[in-house]
Amino acid sequence: MSLETINTISPTTNTTVVTRTGVSPEQLQQIPETAQAAFRSLVSSTTLQQRQEIVARALTLLEKKKDVLARELTEQMGRPIAYTGAEVATALKRAYYLNRVSASVLGEEGIVKGDEENGFKRFIKRQPVGVVLIIFAWNYPYLILVNSLIPALLAGNAVILKPSPQTPTVVEHVAAAFVEAGLPENVIQYFHCGSLTLIETVVRSPLVNHICFTGSVAGGLAVQKAAADRIVSVGLELGGKDPAYVRSDVDAAWAAEEIVDGAIFNSGQSCCAIERVYVHKDIYDTFIAEVKKVLSKYRVGDPSNPKTQIGPVISKRAKEAVLAQIQDAIRNGATDETPANETFDAMPADGNFVKPTLLTGVNHTMSVMTEETFGPVIPVMKVGSDEEAIKLMNDSEFGLTASVWTKDVPATEQIIDKVEAGTVFINRADYPSPDLAWTGWKNSGRGVTLSKFGFEQFVKLKSYHVKDYPK
């Protein structure tokens, strides 16, 4: 049986930029066995403090390579070079935070004591689950990876990493840094694979004790289905259709700048990008005018150019899907109000470029307001009240994040209490804060990463009930 050849296609040029060789079924069977042996070795040979020191050294090594990592991200997934370095820096900052707070969860501070009773000791400790399989996406690969990798390692688990074929070198750099930092052999393993069937064989392995998946709803459902015939926990970070509501009291120019950035940064390819905007009728016309001003200044083009703000979407298929949503909306009564912009008319012909598109006259009969777009589209709908905005924000199968933009923060805190989403923002968007739980409601996922709660999926509880020997 010949091994799979996996090609990474540049979204900028649609040519192959990286090639990797896949794995055989026999190799995939061996990986969890090796991981279990590495797990037992890790637990017996390291303390939490030692693992914290290894993590810190690995992060320092990655920081020294941040320029190389940034260039590879631009080449492989098309984000402008002006921004890829920021992902690496933010991932490192997030990882340092998780390392810093780990003792409060996994150390002596994290032991939960039972009620006091003479002659008895009762307490609960957290133990590592064993072997963790992490399957992660391409759109923010370093950020997504540290969400699971760092707490999994700190808890004492071995990990198996499966990167997206779009960004294959991420795991290679990360694994090498941890080996150099002193992580015991085979505690981190990875494999390249484009075959869903082969991935499912690892998911089904009884030697895999926990699964983390970040990607599409369809992908998450496939992983969940593959794991359904055995008792194993599955953490899912999936898609979104995140709403923003602009109240009538806000400064329209400021809100337009912020919301455009939250909607089209990374070409809109973020699970928590703003994908639908509701604007109070009293400020609607002014807001649309300000959005046009903002868009007229954006630069779309070659992501290797430091002046470029918007690069391509990830593939030809993704471009077709985004354009199909735009066309569906226009056929059903929406208006394309995208302003004139010379870079929108001169996008590189070979890449998967989509101009940032402003749609007005949209409603919930259109796919652009109900289905995930994952592209640089800003659909804006007029509303008459806070109550109407809340109802529309909640009218979705997704519930990842939501934002409200206002001067009246105290009143708006009551509004966001009613919004069905795992993270709610006031006057901010598209920012997973490391000290807050990152969790999706509805079809946006299951489980938690980040914050102190982000360690819980990588541990199991063990209760200790100790009675003094009778005298």
The identity of residue 221, as a single letter, is L
The identity of residue 219, as a single letter, is G
Pick the closest to residue 135 from 43, 239, 76, 216 (CA basis).
216
What is the Cα gyration radius of the chain?
24
- Phi and psi for 161 in degrees, rounded to 5? -110, 135
237 is a catalytic site residue = yes
Taking CA atoms, 92 is separated from 20, 97, 181, 212, in Å, by: 26, 9, 15, 20
Pick the closest to residue 271 from 423, 395, 149, 152 (CA basis).
423
Other C-beta atoms closer than 10 Å to the C-beta of 332 total 14
List the catalytic residue out of 237, 275, 372, 456.
237
Would you say how long the chain is, in residues?
471
Residues annotated as part of the active site: 237
